Chains A and B, each alone.
Chain A
Amino acid sequence: MAFPHRPDAPELPDFSMLKRLARDQLIYLLEQLPGKKDLFIEADLMSPLDRIANVSILKVRSLSLRSCPSFLFEQLCFLVRPRIKNMRYIASLVNADKVAGRTRKYKVIFSPQKFYACEMVLEEEGIYGDVSCDEWAFSLLPLDVDLLSMELPEFFRDYFLEGDQRWINTVAQALHLLSTLYGPFPNCYGIGRCAKMAYELWRKLEEEEDGETKGRRPEIGHIFLLDRDVDFVTALCSQVVYEGLVDDTFRIKCGSVDFGPEVTSSDKSLKVLLNAEDKVFHEIRNEHFSNVFGFLSQKARNLQAQYDRRRGMDIKQMKNFVSQELKGLKQEHRLLSLHIGACESIMKKKTKQDFQELIKTEHALLEGFSIRESTSYIEEHIDRFGSPRFFLPVLRLLCLLSITENGLIPKDYRSLKTQYLQSYGPEHLLTFSNLRRAGLLTEQGPGDTLTAVESKVSKLVTDKAAGKITDAFSSLAKRSNFRAISKKLNLIPRVDGEYDLKVPRDMAYVFSGAYVPLSCRIIEQVLERRSWQGLDEVVRLLNCGDFAFTDMTKEDKASSESLRLILVVFLGGCTFSEISALRFLGREKGYRFIFLTTAVTNSARLMEAMSEVKA
């Protein structure tokens, strides 16, 4: 269990510096406001803030928690994401003050950056100038020793649905910061339109600030950028490694999870930080769920044995035991019972949902057999009305069916959509429209060639411009070609007999041996070749002909250790299953992966992002 890294595996860089940096910058910004003030922090920023500036820091700064919206002081400071509705709210406050004849000072700190659209709203509302603006460039939160999150879940919808590139600069800035702190990346690879743009903009930044990273020894040898839409399939699957399952069941938020009374076996909920520091969690996080129980009970027996040692100890030994070991044992005991509780709760919930059947259906979809049975299974689940808990899972299965089959047969599409709207509400036709635009849920047939409008546009303009347009269109809804890609990349392992999940042989273990995550397979293949050579057909099938790139610099200074450190950047989010799979690959090959994601995601979050109706 908990396979150790190879002895030659490189050390991870220390990312705690990023926390310190963000914290100090925030303190610096707040110091610019002398005197008493009310500080508002947007809900979405609370958890990330909590991770870098713990309560003690806030105490040092003498911030006291107060409820909104009563204001005590003559200065108001807002710490917000750059969103229009935030601007409108601030404007309503300021304008109300103006009407009441109150004069106050207002400051907005945007994180991670301000947008011109926000300033435009401030101007339109007549409060430009009354409000001063600042930016807190906090865009990299180390959630764990190998996981950096930008905590921007909206990236997914903004780019992959709306085609808005507003976060690309944020990504480029984040990469720039990393290369400033940890040296240049000698080898760069990427796939996806967004990946390419982020890469180009980042390069531009580096050129402009020429010299800053020159001469630095690279700490991280490779960087790999990947768009989420290159692989929707993996993100849509039910997760069965422990960390993924905990995320799917309880929702891990900003690296911590709220375990309810059913887990803690008390009347209280408990907020638990899940990372490498939790020794029990660390050993089971990447394990297939079927192994976790056995592991935990073994662990419990060991613990019991250690407790039992105190029998037959003399006074001196006992003193040693109490002062040195007991605390650790107690801590372990606490964690152990927590994770056992979580497992039990997961088991209960999954049994109720007929998880086994669900997984069977997913595997059938991935492998491409019994499509009719799978379709009826989905239909049956749409019919289970009155269970809002099925609202996202069913939609997810529909998307999985669509992507693996290159779209639904029109007859099925119509009938399933109608049933869905009847069961979950007619307004979801907006959700279906979104899913279609993003290419997540489409109809076979004329639908997957150019739409009428698109062809009209292409007819209007010729040659070069038309090329541009088709490019632009192909970035969104496009044929998935999953079956062909799966064949080319061998994503469905051929197994003789049982796949031994205790001794995984490949990355497929994260999906019970049924499927190697596409995203991870691509990364593996490119790293092996140090290029896209020989993968042309795959790249073409992924519709990424123009968006797969390699960039190697002649860097003699890169140590062999750094060359086994790989930063993987997921644009649009990555799942814990993908993280586990790559950690496994790393252990096999002696690499270590570092993950940078716009946010940790899973199938439910993807579906929520596409939904027009708030559940």
Chain B
Amino acid sequence: MNRTKGDEEEYWNSSKFKAFTFDDEDDELSQLKESKRAVNSLRDFVDDDDDDDLERVSWTGEPVGSRTRPGSFQSLSDALSDTPAKSYAPELGRPKGEYRDYSNDWSPSDTVRRLRKGKVCSLERFRSLQDKLQLLEEAVSMHDGNVITAVLIFLKRTLSKEILFRELEVRQIALRHLIHFLKEIGDQKLLLDLFRFLDRTEELALSHYREHLNIQDADKRKEFLKTCIGLPFSAEDSAHIQDHYTLLERQIIIEANDCHLESAGQTEIFRKHPRKASILNMPLVTTLFYSCFYHYTEAEGTFSSPVNLKKTFKIPDKQYVLTALAARAKLRAWNDVDALFTTKNWLGYTKKRAPIGFHRVVEILHKNNAPVQILQEYVNLVEDVDTKLNLATKFKCHDVVIDTCRDLKDRQQLLAYRSKVDKGSAEEEKIDALLSSSQIRWKN
């Protein structure tokens, strides 16, 4: 949560903030008066709080605007607070000396009610633990999270953290507010102490891990991730954290190496396909794609080889094949694609197999603009006939459609398809030959 200054500046300097300037010289007096009139007439519901004038402070600190409002109702308790030295915000954290003495002390419920209205209210007089807790309970029963947090800020300042934590452990609503507050202000240390105290080990670990998002430098991030390994994550998350560290470690090595190769200009693949972005902090699958793209033929021993990545991160076959296919198809390396799906059985016969289903292979090939001959080959391997026919029609693999119709003895469908092929084309001829053939016993 610790935002670095750089972060913040970036946030603010980004175009998100727009600035206006206005100067009064151009103001049209009449308009001003009109809006003022409007506002005054709306007062009754705009200013639903009789102490609201307190909030309206001019630049000099003097209350502005009309101070007297005929008919405004002033309760006894409000009148009591009308001391001349007005302060305009609850004094949550001021040194004691600055506080005025209240001759009439507010009860916890009055105090909470005033806090809800944003009124001036000292909490300093709640000194015994019992008073503090009563105040907190009042705030919780009021449901206003802003007030709960206000009381918690006071408790955090005036109680030792052991006592604070102990009391909050049995007050879950307040506890949640404190946790959120600590996250927001970035008090990571106290947050981790709190999780430790509560024995919420997993949240502790996750909270610590979250910090890596604020570290931009890859090496520092890697070092930080190293400190996360061994934290009390759940068993599955522990593995993910370990993988995260290993992945970044790899990426740093690959990045340095490839930067060098690219700038040296000796390697064909980098010359032909300059890298678009750094591989640092990319997901695993993207890294695998990158490695299949630039380092496909490397031996298993190198960190950048696809096989090594597959082994190290136990990437499932499916995922591996999909990614390799996409990378090799993008490079139009059809031989590699072919090899991906070719398996030899013990007799030495080759067979095509795809762990992902050939319909998906076809889709990926199509997305990468594979030529029809290639597409056709894989469409033919789709097992389900309907799917095959659909894909063949969609990707205009005429031969496959025609042959499939023939095999299905579906004369009607073949006839319908005839209108979709070009007039006078080889496909049309083929269809005509089939339609007039006496050898086929059409089913329709």
Contacts and interface: CB of A to CB of B under 8 A. Distances in A.
Interface stretch (B140-148, B266-274, B396-404, B427-435): B140-148
Contacts of B61: 132
A20 B46 CA distance: 11
Contacts of A46: 18
Q: Name the residue in B61, B94, B144, B146 with the highest tally of chain A Cβ atoms < 10 Å from its Cβ.
A: B146
B236 A417 contact: yes
A262 interface: no
Contacts of B23: 35-36, 62, 73
B410 interface: no
Nearest to B284: A422
A461 B206 contact: no
Interface residues on A, range: 35 or more
B35 interface: yes
Interface in A413-471: 414, 417-419, 421-427, 429-430, 433, 453, 456-457, 460-461, 465, 468-469
B213 A613 contact: yes
Q: Name the residue in B35, B39, B88, B153 with the highest tally of chain A Cβ atoms < 10 Å from its Cβ.
A: B35
B31 A60 contact: yes
A121 interface: yes
Nearest to B202: A433
B318 interface: yes
Nearest to A163: B176
B8 A89 contact: yes
Nearest to A380: B360
A85 B59 contact: no
B313 interface: yes
Interface in B11-41: 11-13, 16-28, 31-32, 35-36, 38-39
Contacts of A63: 20-22
Contacts, number: 290
B383 interface: no
A111 interface: no
Given A24-B39, A64-B22, A113-B118, A42 B8 contact: no
Interface stretch (A165-173, A240-248, A398-406): A165-173
Contacts of B26: 62
B285 A385 contact: yes
Contacts of A115: 146, 149
Contact of A166 (B57, B145, B179): B145
A167 B289 CA distance: 45
Nearest to A194: B143
Contact of B319 (A124, A128, A422, A465): A422
A610 B323 CA distance: 28
A385 B283 contact: yes
A419 B313 CA distance: 11
A101 interface: no
Contacts of B147: 116, 169
Contacts of B318: 383
Contacts of A530: none
A546 interface: no
B180 interface: yes
A198 B176 CA distance: 18
Interface in A6-50: 20-21, 24-25, 27-28, 30-43, 46
A227 B433 CA distance: 68
B100 interface: no
Interface string B329-356: 0000000000000000000000000001
B45 A430 contact: no
Interface residues on B, range: 35 or more
A51 B16 CA distance: 18
B230 interface: no
A386 B88 CA distance: 54
A88 B3 contact: yes
Contacts of B237: 429
A68 interface: yes
A70 to B, nearest CB: 8
Contacts of A456: 199
Given A85-B8, A85-B11, A430 B209 contact: yes
A133 B88 contact: yes
B365 interface: no
A117 B153 contact: yes
B422 interface: no
B236 A166 contact: no
B177 interface: yes
Contacts of B322: 383, 385
Contact of A422 (B27, B209, B283): B283
Contact of A84 (B46, B94, B185): B185
Contact of B200 (A36, A426, A453): A453
A177 interface: yes
Contacts of A73: 21, 23
A386 B184 contact: no
B181 interface: yes
A38 B19 contact: yes
B86 to A, nearest CB: 13
A158 B150 CA distance: 16
Nearest to B153: A120
B285 A469 contact: no
Contact of B210 (A383, A423, A612): A612
A27 B35 contact: yes
A426 B24 contact: no
Interface string B132-158: 000000000011111111100100000
Given A133-B88, A422-B285, A69 B12 contact: yes
Contacts of A89: 8, 11-12
Given A43-B18, A426-B244, A28 B285 contact: no
Nearest to A87: B185
B185 A117 contact: yes
Given A422-B319, A427-B212, A62 B39 contact: no
19 contacts: A20-B42, A24-B46, A31-B35, A34-B58, A61-B22, A62-B23, A62-B24, A62-B26, A69-B12, A114-B118, A117-B149, A117-B153, A117-B181, A128-B89, A164-B180, A380-B360, A417-B236, A423-B285, A457-B169
Interface of B: 3, 5, 8-9, 11-13, 16-28, 31-32, 35-36, 38-39, 42, 45-46, 48, 55-59, 61, 64-65, 88-90, 92-94, 113, 115-116, 118, 142-150, 153, 169-170, 172-173, 176-177, 179-181, 183-186, 198-200, 206, 209-210, 212-213, 236-237, 240-241, 243-244, 247, 281-286, 289, 313, 315-316, 318-319, 322-323, 326, 356, 360
